[in-house]
Structure 1
Amino acid sequence: MKSIIIALFLLAPLFVSAQIKSGPMLGYSDMKEVLIWVQTEKAAQVSIRYWEKGHKTKHQTDPIKTEKAQAFIARIIADEVSMGKKYVYEVLVDGKKINVDYPLEFQTQELWQWRKDPPAFSFIFGTCNYVNETETDRPGRPYGGADEVYAAMHAKKPDFMLWGGDNFYYREPDYTRTGMIHRNNHTRSAKAMQPLLANVHHYAIWDDHDFGPNDSDRSFPMKYTSLEMFKMYWGNPNYIFPNEGITGKFQWADVEFFLMDDRWFRAPNEINDHNKDYWGQKQMTWLLDALSSSKASFKIIVNGGQVVSPAKILENMANYEAERTLLLKELKNRNIPGVLFLTGDRHISDLNKLNRPGTYPLYDLTVSPMTAGKSDAFKQDYNETLVEGTLITERAFSKIEVSGPLKDRILNITLYNVKGDVLWTKAIKSTELK
């Protein structure tokens, strides 16, 4: 009997640990609250205990019950926090602490306005993340790989990560609510990803593969279920059109990020009409108005597909002539400074620079893929906007660092391979974008 009791005691921590299916993952960070996401294996009560780093006073959130209808997900708000602090945290499932073999820390944003120059910060940007699954992958060589990229990104110690679309890939069996939950679960629970999820804040947009099928558009019949999944599995702070797509916005220090949806309102690629919708009028109006009122040093527009390149290939915005022309015209007419783009989709990485008469150039950084299959460039990619030496056809991610005084901020881009080795760097000054 004694040996049985000892065996049960030794197994208890393993039983508790098995309650976590994926996460914890850090969502948005603001000055007064932080979102923490946790998914359990089955119904459970989940809470977060946290304390300021170096201090002893502990806070604990009220428990949230996870349920099958919501994929056993808990979205927990830590709201007893102070501005500009770092916190240690732990996850409790049914009142018991979950033990993990890596640190658990989050941070709040700093109140710097009217007091001093904005703080320096950094973030990771990447797209096209494919996690293999034998029974649903296409036969032959696995499409996904390079799981070491998650550790390489984590090692760069960014403040947050920005996922630029195709963050996972729906497969043919996935086009039911049950299938979509399975795909999200399968990707999110990848073991190599967990330390990155737990210690870096995460923001996201989607592109075609995590919205629906390849090259999907506004006609996709399950787009409302896709939207439900996005809101369940990501931790963005807001949605501009609550029941129409994932458009949103957030700020970190003096930089604002405009999270665009290039799927929800998009007309089919096959329509032969240069006036066809890309973002759509409603989303375009919001973007231009939000940019016009922004005082940010850099106004970063995050989009699934390339915007600046004039190459009319694949799903580049250049194929949607009227909207791209309107966007470029209004950015100039409204005299909006500091705009640049972060994009993905292409399975190549490059930097495009569009010189515009009478105003500053527009940059578009494309980073793709992280773990999905690589691709070759088209001859049209080698056009007048391509910055020499930046086109890369291997798996990659970028780290972007923002530093310097408010009136002379510098945005430094570094592109890395999946091992974390530097491929190229580029610095852009806020004074250049005026």
Structure 2
Amino acid sequence: MYKIHCRLLLVILLQSALLATAQVPVTSRTSKTGTPRRAAPATLLQSGPMVGYSDSREVALWVQTNKPARVQIRYHEAGKPSPAYLTSEVQTHEKTAFTAHLLANQVEPGKKYAYELLIGGQKVSLPYPTTFQTQNLWQWRTDPPAFRFGVGSCTYVNETAVDRPGTPYGNGYEIFTALNAQKPDFMLWTGDNTYTREVDWNSRTGVLRRYTHTRSLPEMQPLLASTHNYAIWDDHDYGPDDSDRAYWLKPVTLEAFKLFWSNPNYIFDEGCTGTFTWNDCQFFLLDDRTFRAPDAMPDGPEKTYFGEKQMRWLIDALRFSKATFKFIITGGQIVNPSAIFENYAVYGTERERLFNALTEARIPGVLFITGDRHHTILQKLDRPGTYPLYDLTVSPLTSGPAKPRPEELKQSTVIDGTLVTDRNFGLLSVSGPLNDRVLNIKVYDQKGIQRWTRDLRAAELK
């Protein structure tokens, strides 16, 4: 009996030892003393860190790990290592694609800060600068500071296994290096910031995987780490090509959008509509998908593009705004009068209504920034009795370029010398005293070579 009990005890002890061994993660290593070592923090980093919105009293930051981890940001004023501050620690989870939104809220207006990413309490060493800034308190004190921002749309990152056969559609990833070299204060991602494929847009798993795949592009990381980022979506990051309000998985892609971007607000429960200010300028981020009727629907009052409540909010917000320049950011071209592809002109009734509302409200300083078309061009719509409406289309970043149709180039709205049919980005600068602000537009190709430049004075938009 004693021997039986001894054998039984031995079996139990052996099973316990095996179970304990099995519970040590595969990625863990064992030290000479037999203590499991932690995984190096850099090996847990999937993408980011990314700097999100900036305000005077807080700045948003974002990071993604590749498995559950505790993440935190340590930051200090540039050139002053002490005192240093810590954001709250966030635990990443698989159900939210291991993403984390962090908030630096011990900041002062008009300051630049350096920061470090901590994973599991350990610093992650990165081979590029990690900085952010807070917005200035200039009102009632000085003229607004000069600033500049990048603009781009249509970011396609190849994945051979699921892409269409043939010549890869994405290329020129060095464009993000060229963009980062310009050191913009912030970046406007104006739609198609990732391209869902057939294997993606029918499942939450597919959507989150696609967002992760694009965000993980190595060439993109230095730009994300030190440039504030704001985004809207268009059809490809919303759903399938040319998708509209009928897309069946739009709550899922909205969830993904909010997980991967750090915009300061969302006006509605559905869609990506929002707004932000930078110095004396305001940016109105519009959603051209969530409320959009099908392109093929006959034109008329029921054929909506932005939809009734978004249109009402936009006009109200523009009326309230005191901004010098009021940038309306959306995917499809607005000013182009050609009723083709997904231009706003295909929705002629609503387009006319918007233009009439802008005229009747006598709102100064309005201009549009758009993407979608895989080429860059500046267009100008003259309006009797008031100032012209400009529409700057900037596209593509890494997707395949495309030329406009010949009949489009014959439109009176086209400004000569502004067509670019290579991969490119925009760099916009606002400068000058408050009573004479000037918007400078420059367009660069993927190598960082300037292709054209134009100035637009605020006085011209009154």
Question: Fold match, TM over 0.5?
Answer: yes
Aligned residue pairs total: 427
Distance (Å, rounded) in 2 between the aligned partners of 1:194 and 1:422: 23
In the TM superposition, residue 273 of structure 1 has moved relative to its aligned partner by 2.4
Distance (Å, rounded) in 2 between the aligned partners of 1:379 and 1:148: 30
Q: Aligned partner of 1:187: which letter? A: T
Task: Give 1:371's aligned residue.
Answer: 398
Deviating above 3 A after TM superposition, structure 1's stretches of 4 or more consecutive aligned residues are none
Task: Give 1:339's aligned residue.
Answer: 366
Task: Give 2:45's aligned residue.
Answer: 20
Task: Give 2:158's aligned residue.
Answer: 132
Distance (Å, rounded) in 1 between the aligned partners of 2:191 and 2:200: 18
Distance (Å, rounded) in 1 between the aligned partners of 2:447 and 2:241: 28
How well do the aligned residues superpose, as a CA RMSD in angstroms?
1.4
In the TM superposition, residue 256 of structure 1 has moved relative to its aligned partner by 0.2
In the TM superposition, residue 380 of structure 1 has moved relative to its aligned partner by 2.6
Distance (Å, rounded) in 1 between the aligned partners of 2:305 and 2:322: 26
Task: Give 1:419's aligned residue.
Answer: 447
In the TM superposition, residue 14 of structure 1 has moved relative to its aligned partner by 7.9
Task: Give 1:246's aligned residue.
Answer: 272
Distance (Å, rounded) in 2 between the aligned partners of 1:14 and 1:25: 22
Q: Give matches, 1:25-424, under 5 Å.
A: 25-55=50-80, 56-175=82-201, 176-241=203-268, 243-275=269-301, 276-382=303-409, 383-424=411-452
Distance (Å, rounded) in 2 between the aligned partners of 1:45 and 1:399: 36
In the TM superposition, residue 13 of structure 1 has moved relative to its aligned partner by 9.9
Distance (Å, rounded) in 2 between the aligned partners of 1:28 and 1:158: 14
Distance (Å, rounded) in 2 between the aligned partners of 1:130 and 1:203: 18
In the TM superposition, residue 154 of structure 1 has moved relative to its aligned partner by 0.2
Asked if 1 retains the 8 angstrom alpha-carbon contact of 2:299 and 2:349, the reply is no
TM-score by length of 2: 0.91
TM-score by length of 1: 0.97
In the TM superposition, residue 391 of structure 1 has moved relative to its aligned partner by 1.2
Asked if 2 retains the 8 angstrom alpha-carbon contact of 1:313 and 1:380, the reply is no
Distance (Å, rounded) in 2 between the aligned partners of 1:74 and 1:322: 42
Q: Percent identity between the aligned chains? A: 54
- Listed one character per residue, the Cα deviations across residues 388-417 of structure 1 (whole Å, up to 9, x for unaligned) are 111111111000000000111000000100
SS in 2 for 1:154: helix
Task: Indicate how the Cα distance of structure 1 residues 232 and 358 shifts in structure 2: closer, same or farther if over 3 A, else same.
Answer: same
Q: Aligned partner of 1:163: which letter? A: W
Distance (Å, rounded) in 2 between the aligned partners of 1:393 and 1:190: 24
In the TM superposition, residue 313 of structure 1 has moved relative to its aligned partner by 1.1
- Listed one character per residue, the Cα deviations across residues 149-203 of structure 1 (whole Å, up to 9, x for unaligned) are 0000000000000000000100000020000010000000111110001010000
- Listed one character per residue, the Cα deviations across residues 295-354 of structure 1 (whole Å, up to 9, x for unaligned) are 100000001000011011100000101111011111111100000000000011100000
SS in 2 for 1:172: coil
Asked if 2 retains the 8 angstrom alpha-carbon contact of 1:256 and 1:300, the reply is yes
Asked if 2 retains the 8 angstrom alpha-carbon contact of 1:274 and 1:319, the reply is no
Which structure has the greater CA radius of gyration?
A: 2
Distance (Å, rounded) in 2 between the aligned partners of 1:298 and 1:157: 21
Distance (Å, rounded) in 2 between the aligned partners of 1:406 and 1:398: 23
Asked if 2 retains the 8 angstrom alpha-carbon contact of 1:408 and 1:430, the reply is yes
Distance (Å, rounded) in 2 between the aligned partners of 1:274 and 1:400: 36
Distance (Å, rounded) in 2 between the aligned partners of 1:14 and 1:109: 37
Asked if 2 retains the 8 angstrom alpha-carbon contact of 1:412 and 1:427, the reply is yes
Asked if 1 retains the 8 angstrom alpha-carbon contact of 2:233 and 2:331, the reply is yes
Q: Aligned partner of 1:118: which letter? A: P
Distance (Å, rounded) in 1 between the aligned partners of 2:438 and 2:298: 41
Distance (Å, rounded) in 2 between the aligned partners of 1:324 and 1:188: 34
In the TM superposition, residue 225 of structure 1 has moved relative to its aligned partner by 0.5
Q: Aligned partner of 2:70: which letter? A: Q
Distance (Å, rounded) in 2 between the aligned partners of 1:14 and 1:93: 10
Asked if 2 retains the 8 angstrom alpha-carbon contact of 1:123 and 1:401, the reply is yes
* Structure 1: gaps of 5 or more residues: none
SS in 2 for 1:320: helix
